[in-house]
Amino acid sequence: MSKFRLRRAGGLFTLAALLFVAACEAGGDFPQTTFRPVSELGEKQNAVFYNTTWWTVGIMVLVEVLLVYVIWRYREKPDAPRPEQIHGNTKLEITWTVIPSIIVVLIAVPTILTIFDTQKAAPEGALRIEVIGHQWWWEFRYPEEGIVAGNQFYVPVDRTVELRLHSADVVHSFWIPKLGGKRDVNPQPAVTGDREPHTNQILFTPHEEGAYTGQCAEFCGEAHAIMRMVAHVVSEAEYDEWVEQMRTGSTSADMLTQLARTPGATAPVGDTTGAVAGDSAPPRTQPQVEPPATEQPLPAPAPAAQQVGAIRAPTGLTPQRPPVPAVMVAGAQTDAELGREVFLSKTCVACHAIKGTRAQGALGPVLTRFGTRPWVGAGAATNNQANVEQWIRNPQSMKPGTLMPGAHTPGGGMPPTDLTEQEIRLIATYLRSLK
Ligand code: CUA
C-alpha cells in the first residue's frame, strides 16, 4: 500500500470513529441509549464506563503513536546504522510495569466501589417490585400495593425502586438501558423452610419523567426477540392514580357509563379473591388493601350455547351490531361489553387475568388495563384494533413461537380457541377498552 493510500485509510478510519462517537453522543432520538441515563444507577454505571474507556483510549493512542513513530523513524535504509538495542533495560521495564499497574488500580477501585454501591440493600421507603420473566413477556408485581401489571410498569420519579428479579421458566435478562444495566433473571430456586428465595436485584432512582423501553437481553427461546417492556416514570400523583386504576380493575369507560344508566347494576369492585392473580410468589405479608371480596356482577349465568349463538348469529361480514342476548341487557350492550362476556365465557380465562373480573389465569400476560399498553404481544405490534384482532386470530403470524393458541392454530400445547371472526372483533374491542 502506498504511503498516500495508507494515510488516506487512516484518515477515513479516524473520521468514521469520530462520527460514531458523535452519533452516540449528539442528542438524536435514541430511546435505548445508555449514554443518556435517567437514573442515578445509570449515571454511576456510565461513570465506570467512561473511566475505563478514557484510560484505554489514552493507552491505545499513546501506544499507536509510539509504534508508528518507531516504525517510521527506524525503517530500513541503505547504510543506516543498527538502532540502539534496549532489551534488558531495567529502568524501562520497571517503568512499563509500574505505570500500567497504577492505571489498573485507577480503573479497578472506582469499578469495585460502584459494584458495592449499586448492590447494597434497598433503603427504607423504597418501592419494591417483583419482576418475573416468562417466555415471552414480563410480569410486574407490587406486593405492597397488591397489583400486578404485564409488560409495562409505573414508578414515581425520584423514589428509589427495588426490582427483585426471577423467572418462571428459563433464564432471561432484564434491561431497560436508560434506567441502568442489565441483570440476569434466573428461575427461582425452591424455597425450603423460612429461607427467603434468592433473587437478583436492581436498585435505581429515576430522576426524569418519561417512558423508557427495554427488552430481554439474553436468548431465552424462539420468541426472545419479542419480549419487550416499558417503564413509565411519572409524578407521584400520576403514579397514585395508576395504582388506583390497577387496583380497581378492568372497568372500561363505556361500561361504567352503561352501568350508571342501568338501575340496580353494580359496578365491579375488586376481584373475588382479592389476591394477586395466579399467585405462585411468596405470600404477601401486607394486609389486604382492596375492598372486601364481593360477588362479581356478572349477568345471570346463561346456557353457553345461547350466548354464543346470539353473538355468532350475524356473519362477520355484517356491519351491524349483533343482537343483544336477553341475559346481557342489564349490563352489556356495547361491543366492549359483549366482548367482555365472550372473553369470560371462553378459554381466554384459562391463561389470562384481568383485575376486577373472574379471569384469573396465570400462564399468559396479565391483561388489566390492556388498552393503555403501546403494544400487543410484548412488542410484537402496535396496539390497534387490527393488530389485536390479528393477534387473537393467529398470534404465531406476529410472534413465531408464542405459546398462545390462535383461532385455528394450536399453541403452547393448547388446542385452537375456535373463536369466530365476530368474537375476535368483540374481544379485541373489549381488551382495547380497558384503559
Ligand atoms: Cu427472555 Cu430472552
Q: What is the 3-state secondary structure (H, E, C) of 30-67?
A: CCCCCCCCCEHHHHHHHHHHHHHHHHHHHHHHHHHHHH
More confident residue, 303 or 349: 349
Asked whether residue 151 carries a pLDDT value surpassing 80, the answer given is yes
Tell me the average pLDDT of the chain: 79
Q: Is the pLDDT of residue 297 over 80?
A: no
Which residues are CB-neighbours of 237 under 8 A, at least 6 positions away?
A: none
Residues having CB closer than 6 A to ligand 1 are 133, 136, 172, 216, 218-220, 224, 227
What pLDDT does residue 435 have? 85
Average pLDDT over residues 172-190: 88
Q: How confident is the model at residue 22, as a pLDDT?
A: 66
Query: 306 vs 175, which has greater pLDDT?
Result: 175
Q: Which of 71-85, 104-118, 295-309, 332-346 has the lowest mean pLDDT?
A: 295-309
CA dist 374 and 413 (Å) reads: 28
The average pLDDT across 143-167 equals: 93
Which of residues 9 and 36 earns the better pLDDT score?
Answer: 36
| Cα–ligand 1 centroid distance for 220 (angstroms) | 4
CA of 169 to the centre of ligand 1 (A): 10
User: Element (H or E) spanning 137, and its range?
Assistant: strand 137-142
Which of 319 and 101 is assigned the larger pLDDT?
A: 101
**Are 378 and 137 contacting, i.e. CB atoms less than 8 angstroms apart?**
yes
Radius of gyration from C-alpha coordinates of the chain: 29
DSSP conformational letter for 297? -
| Interatomic CA distance for residues 171 and 133, integer angstroms | 8
**Nearest CA owner, ligand 1 atom 1:** 172
Q: In terms of pLDDT, which residue wins out, 203 or 15?
A: 203
| Atom of ligand 1 at shortest range from CA of 224 | 2
Residue 280 has pLDDT above 60, yes or no: no
Contact 38, 207 (CB under 8 A): yes
Please report the atom of ligand 1 found closest to the CA of residue 135.
1
- E strands within 198-335? 200-204, 210-215, 228-234
Torsion of CA 175, 180, 186, 187, to 10 degrees: -70
User: What is the C-alpha separation between 75 and 391, in angstroms, rounded?
Assistant: 68
- pLDDT for the residue numbered 28: 64
CB 393 within 8 A of CB 346: no
* Least confident residue range of 22-36, 143-157, 261-275: 261-275
pLDDT at 170 over 60: yes
pLDDT at 380 over 80: yes
Mean pLDDT along residues 245-273: 51
Ligand 1 center to residue 374 CA distance, Å? 19
C-alpha cell at 33: 441509549
Residue 301 has what pLDDT? 36
Average pLDDT in the 86-96 region?
89
- Mean pLDDT comparison of 87-91, 173-177, 364-368, 412-416, highest-scoring range: 173-177
Who wins on pLDDT, 389 or 181?
389
Q: How far is the CA of 215 from the centre of ligand 1 (A)?
A: 8
Residue partners of 357: CB distance under 8 A and separation at least 6: 249, 250, 268, 271, 296, 340, 344
- What percent of the chain is modeled with pLDDT above 70? 75
- For the cut 50, the answer to whether the pLDDT of residue 406 exceeds it is yes
Among the atoms of ligand 1, which is closest to the Cα of residue 218?
Answer: 2
Over 70: is that where the pLDDT of 362 sits? yes
